[in-house]
Amino acid sequence: MSALIRQWRLQSGTYEYVMKYFSKLGQYNFLVDVPVSQLMQFFQTAHRLNMTREYYNYYFTTWDVDRVNFSQLAPYFSGANLTAFSLVPRDLPAKLAPESREFVRRLIAEQHRLVPYMDDFLPTEAALMHDALHMLALGLQAATRSKNIQPTPLNCRRRNLWSDGATLVNYVVASSTSSNSDGQKLCFQPLSGPISLDNLGFRSDFNLLIEERLPYTGAHQLGYWAQRGGLVITKNYTQTKEEIRESLRKKTLRVTTLSDSPFVFYNRTLQPGQEPSSDPKDWDGFCIELLKQISAKLGFNISLHLVRDGQYGKILGQGPDGREVWNGMIGELMNRTADLAIASLTITYDRERVIDFTTPFMSLGLSIIYKKPQKEKPSLFSFLHPFILFTVARFSPFEWYNPHACHPDSDVVENQFNITNSLWFTIGSLMQQGSEMAPRANSTRIVSGSWWFFTLIMISSYTANLAAFLTVKRMKSPIENVEDLSKQNEIMYGILEGGSTFHFFQKATIPTYKSMFDFMSSNSAKCFVKSTPEGIERVLNENYAFILESTWNEYYTQRNCKLMQVGGLLDSKGYGIGMPAGSPYVDVFSETILELQKSQAIESLRQKWWRKFNISKPCDDTDGPSGNRHPTNALGLEQIGGAFIILTAGMLLSVLCAGIEFCFKHIKHSVSVGWDS
């Protein structure tokens, strides 16, 4: 850890220069060693430089800062966190000697005259001097009882030692160790707490109280430091959260955002040159309603403004001091010109390094949006597509036989199930038609029953396949996922220039994403777009696929039924509320967001702004279940028209065949009659 040290000189007037110097550096944690009598000038200067907001932390090493009456410094102290150390107990010992009590009274009066904004208290230095003189007196008394101690003239410029000095120190140490923790065995009451000295005469086994002072809760003990136990924090996290919640009540937070419907948009008409108001009533959108619900629970007020450059935020380079310089909303948070940033602001590693984020209020990922392919024109013989055609037999039209109806006593009998009748029977069963032939034997009945069961399953399966094929709109997309997109050259693809999506591809290590970014960079004019609406416009009018966040993909595909999402998500991330690094409000905001998620309030807002806002009916309600790429369609004449053609052709063919058979039979009959004559 490095520290930058500058000297505070009130008389020379350089103190203001020192404060300006730290202000320009953007430092927010200070270790301050300034006399208590100069605290007024210190806070006045800090207030003029806007260095007393809640992001600043001041740790005072000067005694008695904990006794400052901050009600008199309120105009110059708006929210910084002050930490001070205390050695002297606030309450005087109960058995304090009258002469000591009078001494304390005069010191307090003099201190209050010199520093009017201090509470009535005994200065720490005076208490230490009081106790030191009494301990020295005790040591001298004890030493003179056993030895005649005489003062010896010494020259301060020489290194000669007083011969009785070590003896006196030993008696002073012995006097301190002979007393208990309440100092009851001493002949005086210490003002600086229990006194215990080590072998060298240094004070040991004492506690330094650590006090924290906030403008909204006053002073309270944060913990203490002990020589043996080290630092001990007695303040718990629950108490801290309650203090932060209390500090937010009726406080006005500066919120930076950008217009990006449905997340944020201004609901008033602006005249040329007119600036949007900061009143949240004039703003609307998913993020605005979310912020209003958080505000209602925590009790703070909102002052909204649009980010000047209209950017989310990206690194521009490094400043003279070596710090990163960002633009957009991230830059405003880093410069402390805004307390919150709310929009479709993605949580990324680079942003998390320079600002703080709340827990995500919405999860998302990168996805591809592309226009739906044209519907295939149905074929006239669509109903034949499910068939797998193969030849099973040949059918003969000559089935005539002589049943010997005139000779009922003849011993010649014929089996009706010859080869042609057997085939006819099986085909009739397959087509679920009667053949007027009934099996008589049990064996043939068993075989026939098995065949009937088989044809039942086959015909039912064909019927289901035929219905599914004819009632589903087949739309074959040229790309199915990001790998298909990266391996082809016919469809141009791109992303929003700048922002989290751009950085995702820019820093990608996966070969597919890396090659895609190289391709887009080499064709930047054709691939990169300046805004999401521009990307959507190119998808609709060109052979172009746009890679964007899934929340926007869902928003646009719900409103334009010509668009669809291709494949799944490329990554996983979330939107969060941005705050300056070290902001005390991050945890309470995150806790409130989790509470709203638990009550499904955020999901209700999502349904409102994605499926109901500025839309008559979502596209997934029009085309079928959400995500269905093949919506069902009513079976029409265009799909089964071929069946009517085959029926007509069959009728014509049967008439032609009947005519030929009639002619053939007539010729055969004429020849037979002529032969007989």
Give the residue numbers of the binding site for L-glutamate. Answer: 346, 351, 500-501, 549
Work out the angle at residue 327's Cα, subtended by the Cα atoms of residues 321 and 330, and round it to the nearest 5 degrees.
Answer: 95
How many CA atoms does the CB half-sphere of 183 hold within 13 Å? Answer: 18
Work out the angle at residue 460's Cα, subtended by the Cα atoms of residues 459 and 465, and round it to the nearest 5 degrees.
Answer: 95
Work out the angle at residue 67's Cα, subtended by the Cα atoms of residues 62 and 71, and round it to the nearest 5 degrees.
Answer: 120
Q: In the structure encoding, which two tokens stand for residue 500, read together? A: 């989290």
Q: In the structure encoding, which two tokens stand for residue 180, read together? A: 């208990």
Phi, psi of 381 (to 5 degrees): -110, 40
3-state secondary structure 205-218: CCEEEEEEEECCCE
CB 254 within 8 Å of CB 305: yes
Q: In the structure encoding, which two tokens stand for residue 576, read together? A: 């969060």
Spatial separation of the C-alpha atoms in residues 335 and 308, rounded to whole Å: 14
Strands (E), 207-278: 207-214, 218-226, 230-233, 252-257, 265-266
Spatial separation of the C-alpha atoms in residues 50 and 177, rounded to whole Å: 50
Neighbours of 613 (CB within 10 A): 16
Spatial separation of the C-alpha atoms in residues 242 and 240, rounded to whole Å: 5
Sign, CA dihedral 424-428-431-433, equals positive
Residue with the two structure tokens 């309270």: 220
For 563, residues 6+ apart whose C-beta sits below 8 A from its C-beta are 369, 370, 371, 372, 536, 539, 540, 556, 557
Residue with the two structure tokens 């449905």: 262
For 179, residues 6+ apart whose C-beta sits below 8 A from its C-beta are 185, 186, 194, 195
**Beta bridge partners of residue 544, listed in sequence order:** 492
Spatial separation of the C-alpha atoms in residues 585 and 580, rounded to whole Å: 10
Helix (H) or strand (E) holding 83: strand 81-86
DSSP secondary-structure letter at 346? B
Q: In the structure encoding, which two tokens stand for residue 238, read together? A: 């629950």
DSSP secondary-structure letter at 563? E
Helix (H) or strand (E) holding 667: helix 637-676
Burial of 593 (0-12, 13-18, 19+ CB in 10 A): buried
The count of residues in the chain is: 677
For 215, residues 6+ apart whose C-beta sits below 8 A from its C-beta are 70, 74, 77, 78, 79, 80, 247
Neighbours of 185 (CB within 10 A): 10
